Structure 1
Amino acid sequence: MVAQVDPRDLRPGQMVDGWRIVRKIGAGTYGVVYEVEKDGQRFALKVACHREQSGDPRQTDARARREAVCLGKLDHRHIIRMWAQGRCGDPRSGFLYVVLDLVDGYTLGEWVRRTYPTVHEVVVLFRKLFDALEHMHARGVFHRDLSLRNIMVTKEGEPVIIDFGAADYAAAEELTDAPLPPCTPRNRSPEAQRFWNENRLNPEARYPFKATDDIFALGADLYDVLTDPTPQSSKVRPPLGDAVPPPSPFKVTQGRVPEVLSSYALMLIHDKPEGRPATAKDARSPLEEFAQFEGPEWRSTRVHPVAAQLPPAPAEIAPGQVEVPPVPIPSHPSAVPGAGAGALNRLRRGWLRPAFVAPLVLVVLAAAVAAFVLQRPAHPAPPPVARSARADQPPTPSPLAEKPTSRPAQLASPLPTQEKASPSVKQPDNSPTLTSGVPNPQKASPRRVLSKAERCALLVASVAWIKAGCSGVQTRPDPEDCPEEAVRAMKEMGWSTQGGTQPFILVDVTKGSVEEAREQNRTVWKDGPVTGALIRAEGKAPAGTRLDGHLWTTGDRIYGRYLRAHLSGGRTVPICVELTDGGDLGMDKREGSKPGAPVGSKVSSSHAVERWR
């Protein structure tokens, strides 16, 4: 293999030290996996490589060597086996690889959906997994990411633990560059979550991973298998280590999961480590007993009804009707061929097609009616007349709640000062705001209470306006020059403000680590101060450098400015860094965004600037 070939782009037929590439299976945080062939046998070849989001590229070799050491210590039928290892390409600059078993089967989440397991089959499978975990811990190895995707089930129903890229062993060199090791947030233990909450702003803190953390993670997998009929499709789920205890599998499945197994699953994810089994062997013992039970609730009952695991039926098409595939609407004009102002104008003109004329006429009419009603002088309502309600008369419905559309909502401050920026994500109660056209809010006259008719008209107009797709008020800070001291500080750090320095940023360290962002890259944002971090080194600022700033989320994009950098040795310097997305200012709002709760990426590109745009 030629050394210059990127290991992420190997093609079928290429050779890696005698292993012929058959196809690409997938890519993970620290490597790419291919199916390979040699002497008529098929294997999996995992090549270690560095991605931009992976942090320090010098750690790539160290992580690959640690994974190989962990695999070399293990020999268990339910743990993936390593057959060979080496370095492809140049012996000094090439990429390390390991050759592994090729597992023909499904991930654990897919196995649940595609095989409709019985309670007994789930018990037997997890008994084997805890047996493999006991073997692993006896040799001083922690997997540290026992998630649904890192457990395979063969076509014969045998589980196999895979992907030791985040694994660790006794006396191994510390490679984690964050308080917590990489893992799936859903499967993180409560004690690890508490450690993160207490140390997320301390880049030197390191969590001491223990056997009970692996036990919790495997228990979280059991809980999801017992409670979710399609766990492989559940994209956003809160960590099971949160303060609120999850409902029991017995309750979730309406009794399909036996109570004793339900209680056992909750014990594995107990919020305190002393409430869980102390060892994997202790965790396996109850499963040995459950596997002997013969009743129909164990041997014949499927954990989930088959109907709950089937995909929805496709919509029927009437005879002679031609199904027209929907035209995708790009999330940003840059996604349209010939993007730019012209593309944006074409999108806007598309709204004026005949199909939209009637709805727009209704919108204008509703708005006019609402304006007419609201401008009428208010007459005092006559005193209520006491009368007894007839027995057959329904109660009078309560008035509609007043909608805050009679005047623009207050806007966030255009920009906090260097002194007001805070690493906390909580918006201060005394945060400055604009008054949205109200000249003197302290002396403003009290608002008139709207009548029932006025509120109805206002509600109709508001709903029509929203349905028409009209965007809200654009909220973003005003362009201005960056302070001279910030420009000098960035130059001292080796940052170029002419497009040369484009830091890749973890937008908010309180939303999780870089590893968690790879697992679940979206979150809900809100206006206010924020503390981010450099994902990779920039000039003299190392990876992990904390950046204090502010977010604005009210408009059609998410804008962010970072004002201070906390360097090593406790030194803090002013900076001017703004979030960007593909060269455009700010971040796109993603699917699932709602008013007041925009969804965006946890990581973003950015630019060091001399003038805020």
Structure 2
Amino acid sequence: MVAQVDPRDLRPGQMVDGWRIVRKIGAGTYGVVYEVEKDGQRFALKVACNREQSGDPRQTDARAKREAACLQQLNHRYIIRMWAQGRWPDPRSGFLYIVLDFVDGYTLGQWVARTYPTPHEVAVLFRKLFEALEHMHERDVFHRDLSLRNIMVTKGGEPVIIDFGAADYAAAEELTDAPLPPGTPRNRSPEAQRFWNENRLNPEARYPFNATDDIFALGADLYDVLTDPTPERSKVRPPLGDAVPPPSPFKVTQGRVPEVLSSYALMLIHGKPEERPATAKDARSPLEEFAQFEGPEWHSTRVHPVAAQLPPAPAEIAPGQVEAPPVPIPSHPSAVPVAGAGALNRLRKGWLRPAFVAPLALVVLVAAVAAFVLHRPAHPEPPPVAMGAPADQPRPSSPLAEKPTSRPAQLASPLPTQEEATPSVKQPDNSPTLTSGVPNPPKASPRRVLSKAERCALLLASVAWFQAGCPGVQTRPDPEDCPEEAIKAMKELGWSTYPGHGSQLFILVDVTKGSVEEAREQPLTVWKDGPVTGALIRAEERAPAGTRLDGHLWTTGDRIYGRYLRAHLSGGRTVPICVELKDGGNLGVDKREGSKPGAPVGSKVADGVAVERWR
């Protein structure tokens, strides 16, 4: 008899057969998933348990057994791995659980909304997914629910297929109690949709799910990635297997998706199964070719445009009135306020090249000054005043607010505060300023509203100033090749340094800020520029957990950048390495809410990647 305990109510710190509960990740009709820790490593613990409305608990147990049986047959880098299974609290009659990889990243839909990928990035990602699907089908395993929420993308940019709760394999017993297996209607093939329409009232009918259904589902995901910039937010959408074919991604995106990729996506969801690839290998083949394509339409154009918004012109305020907080602006990393240093990474790869920075800065600064002088209201000439920032000058009352989104709170990408954005436009104390010789307006006068042209000119001037590396502004360290001895040492450690596929490390950024356990309780701290000693939180090939890493942090720019140069191995041996901090596909890590100039707030733990060249 199953013990009288509800696995949905486990609390942090409780143990399940040696696995310590860290937090609940989520719960569904047939189970609950926790983040757990053992021997300093993180895992996901999935416990099979049903709600009262979910039906027969024996079927819940049978589904969990089948999920474990499917995962036991799979071993692929883009498919979640199962590490252990058992029953708890009683080894004979307790709830069945499985221990899986802990995937630190985002669902496929969240990845689209967060990164705004290029066509090349999408093609590479789906090439890997079809490679995983090919591995799955070769072992007669069908996922049966390849939806956007069941594909994760790690912070290193690698896809992982998760949640085999609806999966099936060739020798499995039939558990489906309806004409169609559990799944996402949007991703069902036309033939499955037709079977449902014809047999929905027949309780004995069972759809013969096969490989082409999984291929269609993954093709539906590709279509949604190419046509919907925020697929996680889209609520009610018709099944793509309906009779009416959807518009092409090329048309939906007004040409941002290359025609050949658009045609490929439509082929995957064609209404006739004979027009679609018969195997995952056939589906992967064109993507191999797309991944080799060069050109700006593949590498520079984003599938979904990012609207770079200027903060709205401030309204005039009466003397003594408190200024309202600025209107929130998009929190997407590539849609940060372009007046801040965060816009630099977007513009750096485009037309704003170093060769043009000096003349551009000069032209824009002159234009900005001219616009300011020509458009400012006439005032009687007051007596000259001393230069400087008067204490009674009105200041913004609050930092920039984040734009509310439908994404979970832990995935928010905090924007720099108003003070953080200042270094990109602030000039050194000993240099002339744009307002030199122009008297400060009387305190009682309302603040003049800049025109859109003036704001654009000042905005571009600030970016040019930052790009030019003028005094008073610190940028991230320059790109350069990693020393040969460091590359050799990392290979001896078993670390991959292949571009785009370097070994992913989980790092305690600075051991002087506390242990891993303390970081869980208090995950954020204030950082500053300078040397740092970090540590590996979990083992990576021949480097054990706890390996010390010497490095350096740069914190003055738009993000917190870090490089680790040496690793202290057991026996007192020290080897050179090249590891840099990253967040998803972005170099560096986010600054968090509460950051101030010279005192940015950031996470105590971060991802790192082994590289052959510093970016």
Give the TM-score normalised by the residue count of structure 2: 0.50
Q: How is 1:18-97 mapped onto 2 (pairs within 5 angstroms)? A: 18-97=18-97
Residue 192 of structure 2 corresponds to which residue in structure 1? Answer: 192
SS class of match (1:306): coil
1:546-583 deviation digits (Å, cap 9, x = unpaired):
xxxxxxxxxxxxxxxxxxxxxxxxxxxxxxxxxxxxxx
1:40 shift after superposition: 1.1
Describe the shift of the 1:322–1:5 C-alpha distance in structure 2 as closer, same or farther (beyond 3 A).
Answer: farther
Gaps of 5+ in 2: 326-615
* Corresponding position: 1:129 with 2:129: yes
SS class of match (1:194): helix
Describe the shift of the 1:311–1:119 C-alpha distance in structure 2 as closer, same or farther (beyond 3 A).
Answer: farther
> What is the rounded CA distance, in whole Å, between the counterparts of 1:282 and 1:199 in structure 2?
31
> What is the rounded CA distance, in whole Å, between the counterparts of 2:268 and 2:46 in structure 1?
32
Q: How is 1:437-448 mapped onto 2 (pairs within 5 angstroms)? A: none
SS class of match (1:233): coil
Residue 416 of structure 1 corresponds to which residue in structure 2? Answer: none
1:202 shift after superposition: 0.7
SS class of match (1:13): coil
> What is the rounded CA distance, in whole Å, between the counterparts of 2:302 and 2:33 in structure 1?
34
1:311 shift after superposition: 14
SS class of match (1:100): strand
1:316 shift after superposition: 9.3
> What is the rounded CA distance, in whole Å, between the counterparts of 1:6 and 1:317 in structure 2?
59
Describe the shift of the 1:203–1:317 C-alpha distance in structure 2 as closer, same or farther (beyond 3 A).
Answer: farther
> What is the rounded CA distance, in whole Å, between the counterparts of 2:123 and 2:310 in structure 1?
26
1:171-216 deviation digits (Å, cap 9, x = unpaired):
1000011000000111011110110011101111100001000000
Residue 598 of structure 2 corresponds to which residue in structure 1? Answer: none
1:493-545 deviation digits (Å, cap 9, x = unpaired):
xxxxxxxxxxxxxxxxxxxxxxxxxxxxxxxxxxxxxxxxxxxxxxxxxxxxx
Q: How many residues align?
A: 321
Describe the shift of the 1:277–1:312 C-alpha distance in structure 2 as closer, same or farther (beyond 3 A).
Answer: farther
Q: How is 1:189-588 mapped onto 2 (pairs within 5 angstroms)? A: 189-307=189-307, 320=322
1:299 shift after superposition: 1.0
Query: Which protein has the larger Cα radius of gyration, Structure 1 or Structure 2?
Result: 1
Describe the shift of the 1:86–1:119 C-alpha distance in structure 2 as closer, same or farther (beyond 3 A).
Answer: same
1:236 shift after superposition: 1.2
1:29 shift after superposition: 3.6
SS class of match (2:229): coil
* Corresponding position: 1:3 with 2:3: yes
1:54 shift after superposition: 2.3
Residue 138 of structure 1 corresponds to which residue in structure 2? Answer: 138
1:117-144 deviation digits (Å, cap 9, x = unpaired):
1110000000000000000000010000
Q: Segments of 4+ in structure 1 off by > 4 A?
A: 310-313, 315-323
1:115 shift after superposition: 1.1
SS class of match (2:232): helix
Paired residue type of 1:176 = T
1:292 shift after superposition: 0.7
Describe the shift of the 1:257–1:96 C-alpha distance in structure 2 as closer, same or farther (beyond 3 A).
Answer: same
Paired residue type of 1:17 = D
SS class of match (2:201): coil
Identify the range of structure 1 (261-270 vs 46-55) with the bigger mean alpha-carbon deviation: 46-55
> What is the rounded CA distance, in whole Å, between the counterparts of 1:18 and 1:273 in structure 2?
48
1:51 shift after superposition: 1.8
> What is the rounded CA distance, in whole Å, between the counterparts of 1:137 and 1:173 in structure 2?
18
> What is the rounded CA distance, in whole Å, between the counterparts of 2:235 and 2:307 in structure 1?
20
Paired residue type of 2:42 = R
Describe the shift of the 1:253–1:21 C-alpha distance in structure 2 as closer, same or farther (beyond 3 A).
Answer: same
Describe the shift of the 1:39–1:188 C-alpha distance in structure 2 as closer, same or farther (beyond 3 A).
Answer: same
> What is the rounded CA distance, in whole Å, between the counterparts of 1:114 and 1:301 in structure 2?
16
Identify the range of structure 1 (56-65 vs 153-162) with the bigger mean alpha-carbon deviation: 56-65
> What is the rounded CA distance, in whole Å, between the counterparts of 1:189 and 1:311 in structure 2?
44
SS class of match (2:57): coil
> What is the rounded CA distance, in whole Å, between the counterparts of 2:185 and 2:323 in structure 1?
47
Gaps of 5+ in 1: 324-613
Describe the shift of the 1:90–1:291 C-alpha distance in structure 2 as closer, same or farther (beyond 3 A).
Answer: same
> What is the rounded CA distance, in whole Å, between the counterparts of 1:205 and 1:317 in structure 2?
70
SS class of match (2:171): coil
1:418-443 deviation digits (Å, cap 9, x = unpaired):
xxxxxxxxxxxxxxxxxxxxxxxxxx
SS class of match (1:286): helix
SS class of match (1:247): coil
Paired residue type of 1:141 = V
* Corresponding position: 1:105 with 2:92: no
1:91 shift after superposition: 3.3
> What is the rounded CA distance, in whole Å, between the counterparts of 1:27 and 1:312 in structure 2?
40
Describe the shift of the 1:85–1:294 C-alpha distance in structure 2 as closer, same or farther (beyond 3 A).
Answer: same
Paired residue type of 1:155 = K
> What is the rounded CA distance, in whole Å, between the counterparts of 2:180 and 2:11 in structure 1?
36
1:61 shift after superposition: 1.1
> What is the rounded CA distance, in whole Å, between the counterparts of 2:46 and 2:322 in structure 1?
51
Describe the shift of the 1:316–1:95 C-alpha distance in structure 2 as closer, same or farther (beyond 3 A).
Answer: farther
> What is the rounded CA distance, in whole Å, between the counterparts of 1:4 and 1:175 in structure 2?
26
> What is the rounded CA distance, in whole Å, between the counterparts of 2:221 and 2:323 in structure 1?
45
Describe the shift of the 1:267–1:206 C-alpha distance in structure 2 as closer, same or farther (beyond 3 A).
Answer: same
> What is the rounded CA distance, in whole Å, between the counterparts of 1:143 and 1:28 in structure 2?
18
1:331-385 deviation digits (Å, cap 9, x = unpaired):
xxxxxxxxxxxxxxxxxxxxxxxxxxxxxxxxxxxxxxxxxxxxxxxxxxxxxxx
1:384-431 deviation digits (Å, cap 9, x = unpaired):
xxxxxxxxxxxxxxxxxxxxxxxxxxxxxxxxxxxxxxxxxxxxxxxx
Paired residue type of 1:104 = D
1:55 shift after superposition: 2.6
> What is the rounded CA distance, in whole Å, between the counterparts of 1:12 and 1:225 in structure 2?
36
Paired residue type of 1:267 = M
> What is the rounded CA distance, in whole Å, between the counterparts of 1:55 and 1:262 in structure 2?
43
> What is the rounded CA distance, in whole Å, between the counterparts of 2:280 and 2:195 in structure 1?
23
1:4 shift after superposition: 2.2
> What is the rounded CA distance, in whole Å, between the counterparts of 1:301 and 1:232 in structure 2?
22
How large is the Cα RMSD of the aligned pairs? Answer: 2.3
SS class of match (1:156): coil
1:145-165 deviation digits (Å, cap 9, x = unpaired):
000000000011000000000
SS class of match (2:127): helix
1:30-55 deviation digits (Å, cap 9, x = unpaired):
21110001111110000111123323
Paired residue type of 2:270 = H
Identity between Structure 1 and Structure 2 (%): 88
1:320 shift after superposition: 4.3
Give the TM-score normalised by the residue count of structure 1: 0.50
